[in-house]
Structure 1
Amino acid sequence: MLRPAEDTREIPELNAAELGAIAHLYRGEIYRSTIWRTRLDNTTNWSIVTLGIALSSTFSSREASALPLILIGMLLAVFLGLEARRYRYFNVWRARARFLETHWYVPILNGKSAKDDAGWRNILAEDYLHPRHHISFVRAAGRRIRRTYIWIIVIQTSAYIGKLAIHPQMAAHLDELIERAEIGPIPGWVVICCGLAYNLCWVVLAVTTYWLDRRAHGTRPSAGGMG
């Protein structure tokens, strides 16, 4: 979250050349946010493709192992880490572009002058002078889980449980399903407990960061922050 600059001196009106420069600045911020948005989509595509490969391998035959669906979980964690890092950069450009839209273009469009013209310009200037990420890595990861990865993880978990339940034939009871979860010397109940902990960690991260986002946005002044 950005804070208003301490210097509250009145800022003079922008001339035509300066207005043109800000228009080009806005175009540059939109371009950079679009580039990083594409990078986010690439990481999500990698996750979907690798999950599809794991599903194809696991359900290719009755004798195929469910291990690929477990390994893909670790790969999803890696992709999520990459995507959270990219989201932090994307959020910088997105926030700046949105800030210009709400504090500069909106007054132009509705014909009402901004009440805090000096305030928002100071905030934006401070962000350019001392650039930094607007959200933490953990909050970025939580956002990506809630918006994208939760569905990928649900499909992965459902497929894993389905594999244990139907291959090589329908499981007659819970003990049989747990027995099928064995990986070499690792007992099935240990594997299932690890899977439950894995999914619980994502749920806790998603819920916790949602609460942090709500708290940050709820206390942020309408014209006093980005991100």
Structure 2
Amino acid sequence: MTAVAHLYRGEVYRSTIWRTRLDTTTNWAVVTLGVALSISFASPDASPLPLVLVGVLVIFFLMQEARRYRYFNVWRARCRWMETHFYAPMLDEGDLHLEDNWQKTLANDYLHPRYHVSLMTAIGRRIRRNYLWILMIQSLAYAGKLAVHPAPVESLEQAFRRADVGPLPGEFIVGAGIFYISTWIAIAIWSHFHDDRRARLRKTDSSMG
């Protein structure tokens, strides 16, 4: 009992540390987007290019956060497994129901550690939780910059000319931006249905991962 209590404390500590690391990468993404907004809207003549370039950094932070989430999910799942199969039955019935072999599932996870979710699932979950809003703000800010600076846009052709980046025409930049945001939205939607399908296939109310 004492060993399990210390084990649980250790897993809670590790999940807390990795949860903090998730917040750190989200904060970095928000700060960099804020810097890009400040630069692009500093004056009517300022270029909207920083709002395009910051997308690379946002995606870099998303990849980092998804990787960290996969680690966090391992510690979180172990904590939840012990809560639902050890502490809750002990407090409610005084019977640990070892015949269900839940302890073997936990032991196997320690003997053969692995990620509980794929990288794509982790990416989708982080987009749904935080990054969809960041990406939407970035996209709306870019569209707003083209629409109002240096003067209110009067035609679609004029908006495309404002979006030109060196030899790259504005049509290409805008099209790439639409593909960019659509891809991440599609991943978020896919992960939502994927998680729902996994939940329906579970044989118990709680699961590792």
The normalised TM-score by structure 1 is 0.89
* Greater RCO, CA 8 A, separation 6+: 1
Provide, for residues 32-90 of structure 1, a one-character-per-residue CA deviation record: whole Å limited to 9, x for no partner. Answer: 00000011111001000000000000000011000000001111111111000000000
Give 5+ residue unaligned stretches, structure 2: none
**Whole-Å separation in 2 of the counterparts to 1:40 and 1:134:** 17
> 1:50: which partner in 2?
32
3-state SS of paired residue (1:105): helix
> 2:110: which partner in 1?
128
**Whole-Å separation in 2 of the counterparts to 1:183 and 1:158:** 18
**Whole-Å separation in 2 of the counterparts to 1:175 and 1:187:** 11
**Whole-Å separation in 1 of the counterparts to 2:48 and 2:99:** 60
Is residue 2:158 matched to residue 1:176?
Answer: yes
Bigger Cα Rg: 1
> 1:150: which partner in 2?
132
1:86-165 equivalences in 2 (<5 Å): 86-111=68-93, 113-115=95-97, 117-165=99-147
Give 5+ residue unaligned stretches, structure 1: 1-18
Provide, for residues 103-148 of structure 1, a one-character-per-residue CA deviation record: whole Å limited to 9, x for no partner. Answer: 1111122236344554110100110110000000110010000000
> 1:206: which partner in 2?
188
**Residue 163 (structure 1) shift:** 0.2
**Whole-Å separation in 2 of the counterparts to 1:59 and 1:136:** 39
**Larger helix proportion, structure 1 or 2?**
2
The sequence identity of aligned pairs, in percent, is 53
Provide, for residues 165-201 of structure 1, a one-character-per-residue CA deviation record: whole Å limited to 9, x for no partner. Answer: 0000111122211211111111111110000000111
Say whether the 8 Å CA contact 1:123–1:224 is kept in structure 2.
no
Say whether the 8 Å CA contact 1:120–1:224 is kept in structure 2.
no
Is residue 2:177 matched to residue 1:190?
Answer: no
Q: Which runs of 4+ in 1 moved over 3 A?
A: 114-118
Say whether the 8 Å CA contact 2:81–2:206 is kept in structure 1.
no
Q: How many residues align?
A: 209
> 1:21: which partner in 2?
3
Say whether the 8 Å CA contact 2:18–2:69 is kept in structure 1.
yes
Question: Residues 127 and 164 from structure 1, CA distance in 2 versus in 1: closer, same or farther, beyond 3 angstroms?
Answer: same
